[in-house]
């Protein structure tokens, strides 16, 4: 069952407002009783440096953590950091979230290029080994298209057989051509390329912290209910 407001208040009082905002968006989508294992995937390509330095990625992780408190009951979100390779797999939790992303990021060495498919493979492996019976909602943050586009596209199509929904979030100017591939990925035809629509995408803007919490949660949850229904999980 979801974590109560009281439990969130006791463990992470700074996340209470985010928790309340997430609850409103979930209720609007008819997801107030939904269950899901929430994952967070974070881009560590070189162009992401300012977003880590400013605390934007930390704030985003806290937003996802607050959402997960409604969908899961362990107060933890696995985090996959990726660039050229998978840079690291860790977690952020209600009990340990303050500056957590910055500390992890600093420990992972040089920033590299952008390879989605390796991060996706790491999430799939973690989910399968976890023994989870609930579906997974993966919040996949990036600021540009992948180095290997074919590999990313093929991985998403293969993953459509699994109970995993991929919500891609772009950090950067919505008009940036870097996001053209993500728009195409979002629009891959069903059933010609994949049995169900298992992914969504939206750009969070050049300053993602300026996006209101309520709007972020609405966008994160836009395609998830339809996917649950298509998979027979809703």
The alpha-helical segments, DSSP class H, found in 72-190 are 100-106, 116-130, 149-159, 180-186
Residue 177's pLDDT is what? 86
Q: For 146-153, what is the mean pLDDT?
A: 95
Per residue in 50-71, is it b (16+ CB within 10 Å) or e — as a string?
ebbeeebbbebbbbbbbbbbbb
CA end-to-end span of the chain: 16
Q: Which domain holds residue 190?
A: 5-230
Asked if 178 contacts 172 with a C-beta cutoff of 8 angstroms, the reply is yes
Longest dimension (CA), the chain: 49
Percent of the chain with pLDDT over 70: 100
Sorting pLDDT into bands at 50, 70 and 90, what band is 234? Answer: confident
Residue 202: give its domain's CATH number: 3.40.50.410
Domains identified in the chain, total number:
1
**pLDDT tens for residues 151-160?**
999 999 999 9
Alpha-carbon Rg for the chain in angstroms: 16
Q: Read off the pTM.
A: 0.97
**pLDDT tens for residues 25-80?**
999 999 999 999 999 999 999 999 999 999 999 999 999 999 999 999 999 999 99
pLDDT of 174 higher than 80: yes
Sorting pLDDT into bands at 50, 70 and 90, what band is 178? Answer: confident
The DSSP element (H or E) to which 175 belongs, if any, is none
Residue 176's pLDDT is what? 84
């Amino acid at each position: 069952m979801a974590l109560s407001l009281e439990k969130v208040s006791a463990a992470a009082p700074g996340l209470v407002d985010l928790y309340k905002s997430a609850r409103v968006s979930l209720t609007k989508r008819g997801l107030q009783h939904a269950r899901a294992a929430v994952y967070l995937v974070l881009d560590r390509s070189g162009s992401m440096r300012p977003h880590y330095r400013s605390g934007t990625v930390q704030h985003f992780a806290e937003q996802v953590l607050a959402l997960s408190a409604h969908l899961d009951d362990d107060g933890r979100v696995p985090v996959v950091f990726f660039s050229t390779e998978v840079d690291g797999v860790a977690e952020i939790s209600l009990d340990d979230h303050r500056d957590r992303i910055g500390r992890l990021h600093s420990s992972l060495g040089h920033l590299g290029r952008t390879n989605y498919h390796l991060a996706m493979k790491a999430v799939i492996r973690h989910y399968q080994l976890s023994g989870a019976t609930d579906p997974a909602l993966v919040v996949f943050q990036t600021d540009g298209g992948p180095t290997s586009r074919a590999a990313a596209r093929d991985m998403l199509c293969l993953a459509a057989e699994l109970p995993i929904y991929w919500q891609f979030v772009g950090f950067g100017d919505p008009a940036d051509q870097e996001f053209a591939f993500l728009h195409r990925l979002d629009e891959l035809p069903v059933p010609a390329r994949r049995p169900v629509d298992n992914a969504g995408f939206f750009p969070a803007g050049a300053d993602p912290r300026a996006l209101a919490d309520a709007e972020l949660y609405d966008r994160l949850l836009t395609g998830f209910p339809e996917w649950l229904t298509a998979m027979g999980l809703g």
